[in-house]
Amino acid sequence: MINRRSFLKAGAAAGTLAALTDPLSGTAHAAAGLRAAGDVPWLRTLRRIGQTNITEHDPAVMDVEGWANYWARVKAGAVFVSVTGILACYPTTVPFHRKGKYLGDRDFFGELNAAARKRGMRTIARMSPDLNWGDALAAHPEWFMRDEQGQALETPDTPELFQTCMFTGYMTDYMPAIMREINTRYDVDGFYMNGWPMFNLPVCYCAICRKLPPAKTPAYWEKFNDRVMELWKLYDGIAKEKNAEAFYFANMGGGIHATPNLAQVGAVAQWFQADNQGRGGQGEPVWGCTQQGRVCRAIMDGKMAANVTGSWSTGPLRWRESFKSPAEVRMWLNETAASGMVPYYHVIGAEAGMGEDQRWEKFGEEYFGWTAKHDTHFKNKRTMANIGVVIGQRTNLFYQAPNDMTMQRNMDGLYSALLEGRFFFDFVHEDRLELERLTKYAALILPNIALLSDEQCAQLRAYVEQGGSLLATFETSMYSNQNHRRGDIGLADVLGIHAAGPVIGRRGNSNPFYARIERQHPIVQGFTDTNWLPGAEYRLPVAAVENPVLTVVPGFVAYPPELSYPPVRQTTEPAVVLREQGRSRTAYFPGNIEHSLWIGGNTDLSHLLQNTIRWVAGDGAPVRIEGDGLIEAFAWETEPGFAVHVLNYTNPNTHRGWLREFYPIGEQRVRLQLPAGRTVQRVALLRAEKEIPFRASGDVVEFAIPSVEDYEVAALTAS
């Protein structure tokens, strides 16, 4: 028997092989035989992806041919095939790679892989490196995460499984051994690693981790990111040992909460795997999937991005073998396509997939069948948004916010105002603020991006000096990228402000502060019959400015009502600071306005934010949509021309899953500013499956979408 340590240390030479004959299909799969036409990488041609997540019991019950026939029938371009999680799906020889009790001597992975490839589908070998069993722990205690007392960390639901540590040889010896074994035996197009990197920064006290900086600090995060990049490049190199076109990628489903530095990941990743399978129904808004799509666009520069939609019942109560509301599944797939990701449909196990609950099957056939008819209009080149929203990973990970303020609540508050105002916007990563990337945007919004480096502040300063506009809130740039509090806001000179004291919040049941209208301005347009507007729950006091639009009225007791009156009705402390310098406009709210909007639901705060966004962005929006209802819209320049996607969120379950049914909205009037020299020949509605009339005048095209049930795509063919 091969020596265990020798096997785990096997070098690249053992895995570098020519294309082999598949032992099951008898068909040779040379790498070039599956290459996409032209110079476009094959993965960028994918439009549909499928996965049946294999369980231990599946070898006893799954119809392999039926599985492959289904995914081929729905025109999936690629399928994920399980190699291992905690169990091997093939007759492995890697030590501690335990086989499932129903596998026997069967090469289940090999059968699935061969069946998919025989039908022309790409195959991705799926693995999970995060857990292993007690025998591995006994033999290699150095592989596993430890608590402060040195005890191995069990998994909460399955105590016989233990959590592995990413800084150990488990990731550099054990996982490469499995990858090389797969490469030796089979032809696959890529390797995917689920369950890593972790969605939260790991806290481990193993011998290696004790030598690292303290967990959950910027210094630790740098080491964490170094390790992610080291392993990513190692695994990608192993994937390419047999097939130069193969590649490696990992689970990046955290969205704005992702733990690895997304800008670094975007630089090396060929495929962004967004594992946002559905919402949980506990106050999560329906737009969680499109937020993830915007994250992908912010870092991938048009490379492959896919979002996993779970057909199973996602949420805090998980029925893994039961189909969830079809309306909810449909909207998640709609959001995936609208935001520029590739739809990816996922079911757990053969018993759910081809057995007891088969409702998911027909749904997948119908939805993927519709997208297949219109593939060309989902080939996006670039967005047509003129507003950028900065996402701050460091703020999310390290900022010590008052009370229960989180980046997610900040973003959801801002997001809701952006949707109500029907703005077209992109996300912009904080580490990608180079001027050449920002010049397409009339305005940038910084929703309490508290941690910004001196360099990032300088980049934003240069953007404003070149005529760009900014809207910032609360403690934006109050901290360095190392989470050190500055004496003044880092963008003080840009915004025309100076901090005048520590953060002030409400006490007990007191009111948040109010904002007194001191003079008329576009940001207070529409507010009549009132001198006061609601303010935020927390604020950073700033020095007085000349001729303010809004000033602070300090909060006061809310109960008992006899004491609920303002001792001070007017101050010189600004509640917003506005500046105009040449083409540039800046707006700064000292309060956590977007967070207060989200938790308080106050419509005045939303209206104030919308007015301010319109003021800083100016009148040059390339796309406008007028009509009733709550929508989210995307506008893309596509290979055939242009596409305007409209998602209808007008629904009683918009803010708490799941959607039960759809409530159609009426006419949506679209005005699109074309790039110079472009001409539109036709406009077709892809969901309604019909052409509609349009009017062109110069470089402006106007048309009306008669109604939207859940989702409509207006596809413009242009020259």
Residue 667 lies in a domain: yes
Residue 151 lies in a domain: no
What CATH number is given to the structural domain containing 535? 3.40.50.880
Q: What is the pLDDT of residue 315?
A: 75
Query: Does 468 lie in the same domain as 583?
Result: yes
In this structure, of 26-40, 364-378, 380-394, 653-667, the range with the lowest mean pLDDT score is 26-40
Query: Does 441 lie in the same domain as 389?
Result: yes
What CATH number is given to the structural domain containing 662? 2.60.40.1180
Residue 143 lies in a domain: no
Query: Does 660 lie in the same domain as 600?
Result: no
If one counts the domains in the chain, the total is 3
**Sheet strands side by side (includes 425-429):** 425-429, 387-391, 443-446, 469-473, 584-589, 577-581
> What is the DSSP track for 599-610?
HH--HHHHHHHH
Query: Does 367 lie in the same domain as 423?
Result: no
> What is the DSSP track for 300-317?
HTT-EEEEEEESEE-SSS
Query: Does 184 lie in the same domain as 59?
Result: yes
Residue 26: which pLDDT band, with cuts at 50, 70 and 90?
Answer: very low
Print the domain residue range for 491.
385-617
Q: What are phi and psi of 608, to 5 degrees?
A: -65, -45
H, E, C per residue of 435-447: HHHHCCCCEEEEC
Q: What is the pLDDT of residue 306?
A: 95
Residue 350: closest CA among 48, 57, 49: 57
Model confidence at 21: pLDDT above 90:
no
Query: Does 250 lie in the same domain as 114?
Result: yes
Query: Does 460 lie in the same domain as 445?
Result: yes
Residue 147 lies in a domain: no
Residue 139 lies in a domain: no
Q: Which amino acid is at 431?
A: D
Q: What is the chain's mean pLDDT, rounded?
A: 91
Residue 355: which pLDDT band, with cuts at 50, 70 and 90?
Answer: low
What does DSSP say about strands 469-473 and 584-589: parallel, antiparallel, or unpaired? parallel
Model confidence at 404: pLDDT above 90:
no
Q: Which amino acid is at 610?
A: Q
Better pLDDT: 293 or 11: 293
| Residue ending a domain, choose from 617, 651, 675 | 617
Query: Does 670 lie in the same domain as 546?
Result: no
Residue 142 lies in a domain: no
What CATH number is given to the structural domain containing 299? 3.20.20.80
User: What's the pLDDT tens digit per position in 268-279?
Assistant: 999 999 988 898
Q: What is the pLDDT of residue 2?
A: 33
Q: What is the pLDDT of residue 1?
A: 30
Residue 256 lies in a domain: yes
The encoded tokens of residue 221 equal 């995060």
Query: Does 219 lie in the same domain as 195?
Result: yes
Residue 308: closest CA among 192, 229, 415, 419: 192
Q: Which amino acid is at 205?
A: Y
| Residue ending a domain, choose from 352, 377, 402 | 377
Residue 543: closest CA among 583, 509, 577, 579: 577
Whole-angstrom Cα distance, residue 684 to residue 693?
A: 9
Percentage with pLDDT > 70 across the chain: 94
Segment 205-218 mean pLDDT: 95
How far is Cα of residue 192 from the mean position of the Cα atoms in its chain?
A: 18
Model confidence at 5: pLDDT above 80:
no
The encoded tokens of residue 54 equal 């294999």
Residue 154 lies in a domain: no
Query: Does 648 lie in the same domain as 547?
Result: no
In this structure, of 156-160, 260-264, 514-518, the range with the lowest mean pLDDT score is 156-160
In this structure, of 50-54, 256-260, 585-589, the range with the lowest mean pLDDT score is 256-260
Query: Does 636 lie in the same domain as 610?
Result: no
| Residue ending a domain, choose from 565, 597, 617 | 617
SS3 329: helix
Residue 354: which pLDDT band, with cuts at 50, 70 and 90?
Answer: low
Q: What is the pLDDT of residue 559?
A: 87
User: What's the pLDDT tens digit per position in 595-627?
Assistant: 999 999 999 999 999 999 999 999 889 999 999
How far is Cα of residue 574 from the mean position of the Cα atoms in its chain?
A: 35
Segment 266-291 mean pLDDT: 89
Query: Does 666 lie in the same domain as 580?
Result: no
User: What's the pLDDT tens digit per position in 521-553?
Assistant: 999 999 999 999 999 999 999 999 999 999 999
Q: What is the pLDDT of residue 255?
A: 78
**How many other CB atoms sit within 10 Å of the CB of residue 634?**
27
**How many other CB atoms sit within 10 Å of the CB of residue 693?**
9
The encoded tokens of residue 498 equal 């100076």
Percentage with pLDDT > 90 across the chain: 81
Q: What is the pLDDT of residue 281?
A: 60
